[in-house]
Amino acid sequence: MTANSSVAPSPLAGPTRDHLDWPFFDPEHRAFAERLDRFAVSPALTDIDHDDVDAACRTLVRRLGAAGLLDACVASEAPDGPPIDSRRVCLARETLAWHDGLADFAFAMQGLGTGAIGLAGSSALKAAVLPRVRSGEWLAAFALSEPDAGSDVAAMACAARADGDSYVLDGEKTWISNGGIADVYTIFARTGEAPGTRGISAFVVFADDPGFSVVERIAVMAPHPLARIRFENCRIPADRRLGAAGEGFKIAMRTLDIFRASVAAAALGFARRALDEALAHARTRRMFGGTLADLQLTQAALGTMATGIDAAALLTYRAAWRRDVQRLPTTREAAMAKMTATETAQSVIDRAVQMFGGRGVRSGELVERLYREIRALRIYEGATEVQTLIVARELLKGGG
């Protein structure tokens, strides 16, 4: 079964690119978008077998790497290498999500899983890991959440104790994307330098490290590789710690700040696809002597959907532009973008399903798949409720 054989045929070749005329983008971003479009309609993406999700992810990562697209999200190991450009990451996720949610996932995890290594890894660690992840040879994972510590990171129980020239890890992580198939994991564990989040450090663990195991694979409504992982007397060299002891939470937040706006971009991709499918359906669905598009209720829904998408896109690319061009913190802006884009996308997709009527809830329909794909984005990398608190905290801290 290929990527598109499980869904209804669609006449749409790709997303619209009207927003690339916005002043947030440079010519290089428009050229990058053209590369993405060519990749997305090539057999490299369209012939992926989604029946085996693990194998599909491995294949997608290899092909993204071979196409050079992972250069956009995986940092360079060179000391003077270019920084990650948030606008390119966002364009990639928006485009891939429009075509295939699993392709977006595969791309994003290569960046998120190595973001902390690029920020705080030693030169040797960067050289050992980043080229292999960027080429698609290795898969990466980011392991922060625990059974009793999701949004409340301070409740983290997974611990790492120093023992000579090593650290010994004990504990569990859960809801880990790429868990069970990743080659390299960025792990956050309590080292106890101070209470709460100030006593957490970051480490790199390889899948073949003794004491590391995958204890449960987690099935979710939109199939992705997820797992619960465990560390039992897992001994790793001390030089695999990222940054100084006790800096793990700061490193995690800096990593998430890089990629949080890209979650908004993925939501935009899903929302744009839903709108495009709804438009095509409304123009061709015969009803009451005309088409569905002739009805004012349909027109009102489409107008609301389009306006919400543009508003979310403006917030998303403002956050990315602020980080890339102004070199300013984007904690508040990225939170606004993530919150608005994911909630808007949920509403847009729901309206699209409603517009398709009974066909919209039939298993295998594209809008039905989008309905399942979008739901997790309102939770991971900080649930909507957490984003509202981040925005408020930043307002109170800065006074504006």
Number of helices (H), then strands (E), in the chain? 11, 10
Is-contact 354 295, C-beta < 8 A?
Answer: no
Four-point Cα dihedral 315, 318, 323, 328, nearest 10:
-90
Q: Which of 17, 42, 12 is nearest to 31 (CA)?
A: 17
> What is the spatial distance between Cα 389 and Cα 304, in angstroms, rounded to a whole number?
27
Which residues, 6 or more positions from 262, have their beta carbon under 8 angstroms from its beta carbon?
86, 89, 90, 93, 108, 111, 320
- The one-letter amino acid code at 177 reads S
The neighbour count for residue 229, using CB atoms within 10 Å, is 24
> What is the spatial distance between Cα 44 and Cα 62, in angstroms, rounded to a whole number?
10
What are residue 287's DSSP bridge partners? Answer: 290
Q: What are 322-326's contacts with CB under 8 Å, separation 24+?
A: 323/86, 323/257, 323/258, 323/261, 324/85, 324/86, 324/87
Is 381 noted as a catalytic residue in this protein?
A: yes
Is-contact 185 207, C-beta < 8 A?
Answer: yes
Catalytic residue among 77, 146, 172, 381: 381
Residue 261 host element (H or E): helix 248-284
**Degrees to nearest 5, angle at CA 212 with 208 and 218:** 105
> What is the spatial distance between Cα 178 and Cα 193, in angstroms, rounded to a whole number?
30
The neighbour count for residue 388, using CB atoms within 10 Å, is 13
Question: Catalytic amino acids?
Answer: 381
